[in-house]
Structure 1
Amino acid sequence: MRALFPVMTLLFSGCLAALPDNQSLPVKQACLISEERAIPITLEIARSSEERSRGLMEREMLEPDAGMLFVYSNERRADHGFWMYRTLIPLDIAYLDRQGTIRAIRQMAPCPSGQGRDCPTYRAGVPFYLALEMNQGYFQSRKIEVGDRLSLEPSDCH
């Protein structure tokens, strides 16, 4: 067993090293549009399954008007959700349809467990194509609600 420990440690560290460094994700200027205004935000875009799996894990902070957009090529079912395993900061998540309309918003707390299976899943409750994570309280403090939308078009953000 003692001889197995160094091997397991190397394997585990290799798995972590294989996760993409999300600092290198594409960054896009976008805005959230409500009836009243357009709010500019800066988004990291996670498109691949590896990028989405890594998400905002291990981050100690997120800039006030920054977030991460998770993009799926196929619609996700309503029972699909996100968890906060190894995520250190409390987040809001908005689940959006293909056109970027917010269908649901949830608040997510960091999971202190060292085991992913012990972390709760924050289910969307609606089918979705996009998920947008921002600092917890972001949507409420800016009066962004279900029915508002995300635009990745600079011309919409004036």
Structure 2
Amino acid sequence: MVDLVRRVFSAGLMALALAGCAAKAPVGVNGEPMQRLAVVTASGEHAFWVEIADDEPERQRGLMFRPPLADDQGMLFQWPGEPPREQSFWMRNTPSSLDILYIDPKGRIVSIASHATPFSETPIPSNGAANGVLELRAGRASEIGAKPGDKVLHPYFKP
């Protein structure tokens, strides 16, 4: 009986230890928790933590003056309540190269601008209506096999 109690107690301690190690959402520079997002490609589902830019000051600032993104992090730009439209981004004051994924309201990738040039003020068009934009570290979209038509999973997009 003592052995059973000891095993149950040990299992309980292990469960508590594992729960304490569970991944918590990282916090973005705006002080808010980052959100989970996944990009589904032919190679599988690829998870990211994203900061949300959903108001004009956040969208204008974007990733300006920031160090390079980690492989599992990005920024999701949203236009809540606005219809999808042609989008255009630039890299003003952005010191590291990015992949820019333009996304339609259903979460489908419209187009991808790979390895956008740091500090460039040249507009990078979406080449189609989009209401979401995901920025990732340059080369990351290719690494996961992302292509136009692939799916982005996040509550902002309605399938």
Quick check: TM above 0.5?
Answer: yes
From 116, 119, 124, the equivalent of 1:111 is 119
Letter paired with 2:124: Y
**Unaligned stretches of 5+ residues in structure 2:** 1-27
Contact persistence 1:96–1:128 (CA under 8 A): yes
RMSD (CA atoms): 1.7
Paired with 1:86 and 1:76, the residues of 2 have a C-alpha distance of 26
Between 23-32 and 67-76, the greater mean CA deviation after superposition: 23-32
Q: Which amino acid aligns with 1:53?
A: Q
Please list every run of 5 or more consecutive structure 1 residues that lacks an aligned counterpart in the other structure. Answer: 1-20, 113-118, 154-158
Aligned residue pair count: 126
> 2: distance between equivalents of 1:36 and 1:138?
13
Deviation at 1:111, TM superposition (A): 1.6
1:121-140 paired onto structure 2 within 5 Å: 121-140=123-142
Alignment-derived partner of residue 150 in structure 1: 152
Please, what TM-score do these two structures have when normalized by structure 1?
0.74
Higher RCO (Cα < 8 Å, 6 or more apart): 1
Equivalent in the alignment of 2:56: 49
Residues 102 and 70 from structure 1, CA distance in 2 versus in 1: closer, same or farther, beyond 3 angstroms?
same
For the pair shown, which has the larger CA radius of gyration, 1 or 2?
2
TM-score, length-scaled by structure 2 = 0.73
Structure-2 separation of matches of 1:87 and 1:145? 24
Matching residue within 84, 87, 98 for 1:91: 98
